[in-house]
């Protein structure tokens, strides 16, 4: 075969798609191979799936060029389907673990999916995003940022790159200020996020784009660049206004309320949020969100009476854990007003409510945070 078949120029396209090993069964150094894969007749052709070292194709006898090409195609296809099956299985396991809140185990499963995936696996993007999300839920923020940096080139130019870059950037932002790698990781991931942001070929929903703004603003803030932060916040606010204007229904428009409230608060122009929130309250009279947000806005404007009135309306409609946020703002409003007793009573009410929430909605961290706040609200002796 050596003299004729292997030198056929039609094999050129296979050169880089396989690694080629020639085993002379008489050579002493071939013993290790022969122990593992006994060869009773010659010549024998084998194709091994390298990472799993199992045989995907075996043929005894000399092959002509047509047969050889057919075998190479078949072997490649088999390796690909096995790799895909194994990656799919790990991905499914990761999803199950992540849904169960077991993010460390989910990370392992997603990593093994990526490791066993065939080239150009069509689920690589989703797997990478899920991996990054689970990593961001773990305390090791350096691990999250480093992995995002390493995986970004593999999803570059796809929709998935948005989440990979932005989640990684958020992890880098939350690294300890003294952390040695912080600057380097922040720079690299901010550049990656900007790259996604500027790529016109990546079609992002307005909601996702807003998420990228948030990550980039956090990064500017983390870099201590006050001017850059404000400029980007202003750009974000006007982007959100544009998105809200493009909305064709009231429901679509209110999607942007929450991000717009954050943007206006950050920019120190809370009053800009009032018209849209009043509109939303008229459009959705049963929804607690518009009055809850109005309470926050009026509080920031130090218009405490209006803030309390909005908080009353929100409390009348709110239910579940979200009531805790409404009570939290309400306590702030009383505190701003100078009514420390009412501020304390509101926190006491919040703690009772938080403790009475059913398991699954009850949060020990939240209760502890309220108790800490209550301690801080004691009258000076």
DSSP string, 51-120: GGTEEEEEEES---HHHHHHHHHHHHHHHHHHHHHHHHHHHHHHHHHHHTT-HHHHHHHHHHHHHHPPTT
Element (H, E) at 168: helix 160-173
If one asks whether residue 11 binds other proteins (CB under 8 A), the answer comes out as: yes
| Residue from the set 3, 19, 198, 316 that interacts with other proteins by CB under 8 A | 19
Closest separation in Å from C-beta 73 to other proteins: 11
Rg (CA), the chain: 30
Q: Near other proteins by CB under 8 A, which window of 4-12, 206-214, 289-297, 339-347?
A: 4-12
If one asks whether residue 113 binds other proteins (CB under 8 A), the answer comes out as: no
Q: How many residues does the chain have?
A: 381
CA atoms within a 13 Å half-sphere pointing along the CA-CB vector of 263: 23
| Residue from the set 99, 119, 245, 376 that interacts with other proteins by CB under 8 A | 119
Compare residues 2 and 200 and give the one whose CB is closer to other proteins: 2
Closest separation in Å from C-beta 15 to other proteins: 6
Report 356-375 residues binding other proteins (CB under 8 A). Answer: none
Taking alpha carbons only, the member of 146, 129, 137 closest to residue 104 is 137
Compare residues 61 and 268 and give the one whose CB is closer to other proteins: 61
Taking alpha carbons only, the member of 113, 106, 121, 123 closest to residue 90 is 113
Closest separation in Å from C-beta 84 to other proteins: 13
If one asks whether residue 195 binds other proteins (CB under 8 A), the answer comes out as: no
If one asks whether residue 203 binds other proteins (CB under 8 A), the answer comes out as: no
| Residue from the set 61, 64, 70, 72 that interacts with other proteins by CB under 8 A | 72
Phi, psi of 286 (to 5 degrees): -90, -10
Question: Interface with other proteins by CB under 8 A: which residues?
Answer: 1-2, 6-12, 14-27, 29-30, 32-34, 36-37, 39, 42-51, 53, 56, 72, 75-76, 79, 118-119
């Amino acid at each position: 075969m050596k003299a004729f078949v292997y030198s056929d120029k039609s094999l050129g396209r296979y050169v880089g798609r396989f690694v080629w090993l020639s085993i002379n069964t008489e050579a002493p150094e071939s013993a290790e191979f022969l122990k593992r894969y006994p060869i009773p007749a010659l010549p024998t052709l084998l194709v091994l799936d390298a990472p799993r070292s199992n045989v995907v194709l075996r043929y005894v006898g000399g092959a002509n060029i047509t047969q050889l090409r057919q075998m190479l195609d078949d072997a490649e296809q088999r390796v690909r389907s096995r790799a895909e099956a194994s990656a799919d299985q790990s991905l499914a396991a990761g999803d199950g673990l992540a849904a169960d809140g077991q993010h460390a185990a989910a990370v392992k499963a997603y990593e093994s999916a990526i490791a066993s995936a065939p080239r150009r696996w069509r689920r690589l993007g989703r797997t990478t995003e899920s991996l990054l999300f689970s990593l961001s839920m773990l305390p090791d923020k350096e691990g999250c940022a480093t992995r995002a940096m390493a995986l970004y080139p593999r999803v570059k130019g796809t929709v998935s790159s948005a989440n990979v870059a932005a989640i990684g950037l958020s992890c880098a932002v939350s690294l300890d200020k003294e952390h040695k790698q912080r600057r380097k990781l922040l720079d690299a991931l901010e550049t990656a996020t900007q790259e996604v942001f500027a790529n016109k070929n990546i079609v992002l929903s307005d909601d996702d784009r807003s998420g990228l703004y948030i990550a980039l603003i956090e990064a500017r803030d983390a870099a201590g660049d006050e001017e850059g932060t404000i400029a980007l916040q202003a750009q974000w606010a006007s982007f959100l206004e544009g998105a809200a204007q493009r909305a064709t229904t009231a429901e679509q428009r209110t999607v942007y309320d929450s991000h717009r409230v954050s943007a206006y608060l950050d920019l120190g122009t809370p009053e800009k949020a009032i018209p849209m929130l009043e509109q939303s309250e008229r459009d959705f009279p049963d929804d607690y969100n518009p009055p809850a947000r109005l309470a926050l806005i009026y509080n920031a404007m130090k218009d405490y009476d209006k803030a309390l009135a909005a908080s009353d309306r929100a409390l009348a409609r709110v239910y579940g854990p979200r009531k805790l946020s409404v009570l939290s703002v309400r306590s702030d409003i009383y505190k701003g007003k100078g009514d420390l007793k009412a501020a304390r009573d509101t926190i006491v009410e919040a703690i009772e409510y938080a403790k009475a929430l059913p398991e699954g909605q009850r949060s020990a961290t939240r209760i502890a945070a309220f108790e800490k706040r209550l301690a801080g609200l004691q009258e000076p002796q």
